[in-house]
Structure 1
């Protein structure tokens, strides 16, 4: 099957937005694993003075994970789906949280320019048409020395992990999608993971994009070998001048 991309994928998420939180809450470890990846950003001082860009924020599950890890951080959530953002905005957030409707490829045109101290991207990169171009945009909006954490389904490359992923999807997720009229979205979810980089390949992609200190960290439980956290740093050097952490600048765009 052909994967959904761009406006077609955003539309599929729009249609599924009303039931998406119920689906993810039924997935063992979904929110716990997001929180683990958010903690791996290792933001000091509860995130006070740190600006964080939450790319592909969806209904706000990743935003909530960031606030659990760094409750004093300023967080800007960006997503291409109007429906998912509507769900996110309907929840209670501190005033330091803002949401912006934009595809990541067009986020600078929506006012999301940074520089940010950290970027968190959960379940984003296998859903974009050109991951390398998106990594370039992420690098551009990070301050030199800024931190990146990517939380993604990126298989180990072992046949057993591919088989386990397909088995879970066939037994639980695909039937859910069909029963709620969202079969195309969840078929995309299944195939996008099988077609995406292995964990080692995505780590190499990060290094090619100019990130340093790249580490690949597995998630526990049944998702070991299926879901990983990738942490990396934009190196110090040429580009935007380094600003002092604790004095954040503009972190939000138009809602």
Structure 2
């Protein structure tokens, strides 16, 4: 089975949106790891006066993490899947959170250049055709010193971690997706992680997109060596997120 691309992947997410939260809840640490990554942005004063973009928000788990880490930030959450956004919007949100139906590839067509203090992207970059181009577009969205946090399935490069991922997918992820009728999507998840950049390669890709400061942090638990958080800062000026 080949990887899903573009409209096929969007349609698969639409189809799986009704069961997506239940399946991710089976992943130990899924939400707590997102929250930990959101806190790594270190947005001061609860994000008061700051604009944050949640790129690829899905059903809103990453948006909820951002809201908990920075309850006063103005959060714009975007996703390409109408079905996932429908699930996100059905939840309760304060007025400082808004959802927009837009793909990551459409970001360069907006007029938001230099508008955001931080961008959060969870489980997104494996699913875009040209991650380098999207990273460059994200860089343009950020103010000087703005921060990017990418939370992504990106293998360490160790054969052990690759073997763990294969075992979990064969034994848990793909069978669970098959039960809900969404085998194609979860098979895509499995194969896309194997095909995506390893953590060191992706960190270099981020740097090439115009982020001179990149730090890679492994996620703990069973996902050690499988999921990483990549924290990057744009430009030479101190990030507003570092203010105290």
TM-score by length of 2: 0.95
Residue 214 of structure 1 aligns with which residue?
214
Q: For residues 55-98 of structure 1, what are the alpha-carbon distances to aligned partners after superposition, in whole Å with 9 as ceiling and x for unaligned?
A: 00000000000011111111000100000000000000010000
Question: Displacement, 1:112?
Answer: 5.2
Residue 13 of structure 1 aligns with which residue?
13
Q: Distance in 2 between matches of 1:111 and 1:147?
A: 19
Change (3 A) 1:112 1:13: farther
1:170 aligned onto 2:170: yes
Q: Distance in 2 between matches of 1:32 and 1:170?
A: 24
Question: Displacement, 1:236?
Answer: 3.9
Q: Distance in 2 between matches of 1:82 and 1:106?
A: 15
- Give SS of 2:41's match: coil
Question: Displacement, 1:115?
Answer: 1.1
Matches for 1:102-251 after TM superposition, within 5 Å: 102-109=102-109, 113=113, 115-236=115-236
Question: Displacement, 1:212?
Answer: 1.8
Q: Distance in 2 between matches of 1:110 and 1:210?
A: 19
Q: Distance in 1 between matches of 2:208 and 2:2?
A: 27
The unaligned stretches of length 5 or more in structure 2 are: none
**C-alpha contact 1:157 1:198 (8 A) present in aligned 2:** yes
Q: Which moved more, 1:166-175 or 1:56-65?
A: 166-175
Q: Distance in 2 between matches of 1:69 and 1:8?
A: 33
Q: Distance in 1 between matches of 2:45 and 2:156?
A: 34
Q: Distance in 2 between matches of 1:83 and 1:113?
A: 27
Q: Distance in 2 between matches of 1:135 and 1:107?
A: 10
Change (3 A) 1:109 1:40: same
Change (3 A) 1:56 1:88: same
**C-alpha contact 1:76 1:99 (8 A) present in aligned 2:** yes
Residue 100 of structure 2 aligns with which residue?
100
Question: Displacement, 1:172?
Answer: 1.1
- Give SS of 1:235's match: coil
1:37 aligned onto 2:31: no
Q: Distance in 2 between matches of 1:44 and 1:5?
A: 38
Question: Displacement, 1:114?
Answer: 5.2
